[in-house]
Amino acid sequence: MPDTGIVVPPKPPRPVLKPYFFLDFKAVQREIITIPSYINISLGDETPSPFTQHRDGKREYSSGIKVDYANQQLIYKFPKIFSEKLKFLFELYYEDTTELNREVNIKITGDGIGPPVSDDIIYQQGEITRTFVSIETNTDQGVIIVHLNRKQDDEVTLKRLAISSLRDISSGGGIMGAEISHPTGLLLFFAPQPNPSRDRITFQFFVPEELSGKSASLDLYDIAGRKILNIFKGKINQGYNRVSYKNKNLNSGVYFVVLKIEDQKRIKKFVFTR
């Protein structure tokens, strides 16, 4: 190249823009497909659990016990679970009727397991009946679906549903010899409901044992990453938690809610409409 004597100045470096708010989308994506080795859901609340696919409603009996109910079928759906063997615990309950007992068929299906598993259970009025179902999972694929189907001319009711990981079966088979693993320490933050929301929105999250009793905060940010308000601040308990917020002054738009407990942080996006 000939020497023309013209000196071309180097291009100035591009400015580094520091965003108000950083979203770790990889972490969020992993949270969606991964759940801890233990889930414990108390049912019968006004807002269905994030795993509930179908129920006709909820009941609270005179004893104070609450259940999900359906005239035909209750359905719950769970994402991929990274465990080769799982134990499902079902707590069945009803009262305030003339029926002495009820019969339900529990069926577990989905591309996340091998052959479907099915069992018929009879439960009596006024007594909490606990039954266990074990399955083997396909850890390379998707969801697990739990169906509870009525067997007679009565409704089906469920008080609680729990899932444990079976690490070792030492008694030559069967549930009773299983060693149940402990929570993995993963904090779960489920999708806000409803989304979009016109006024009231509910945030649901699962707190592992390791974070029980720790200080937690739930903060709201706008699309620019500016903190708008604090929804919750205080000690949090292990298990399934729910916090509701009623919008009074916020404009329509996209917002982010940040759940933080100790050094763990989870972020969800939602929309307010007017």
Can you list the pairs that 227-230 forms with residues at least 24 positions away whose Cβ atoms lie under 8 Å?
A: 228/255
| Domains of the chain, first to last | 37-180 (2.60.120.260), 185-272 (2.60.40.2550)
- Report which listed range, 33-47, 157-171, 184-198, is most confident: 184-198
C-alpha count within 13 angstroms, C-beta hemisphere, residue 254:
5
Q: For residue 23, what are the contacts with CB-CB under 8 A and spacing of at least 6?
A: 256, 267
The residue type at 137 = T
d(CA 102, CA 155): 8
Taking a C-beta distance cutoff of 8 angstroms, is the pair 117, 87 a contact? no
- Report which listed range, 54-68, 161-175, 240-254, is most confident: 54-68
Considering only residues 101 and 108, tell me which one the structure prediction assigns the higher pLDDT: 108
d(CA 188, CA 167): 22
Mean residue pLDDT across the chain: 76
Judged against a pLDDT cut of 60, whether residue 22 lies above it is answered with no
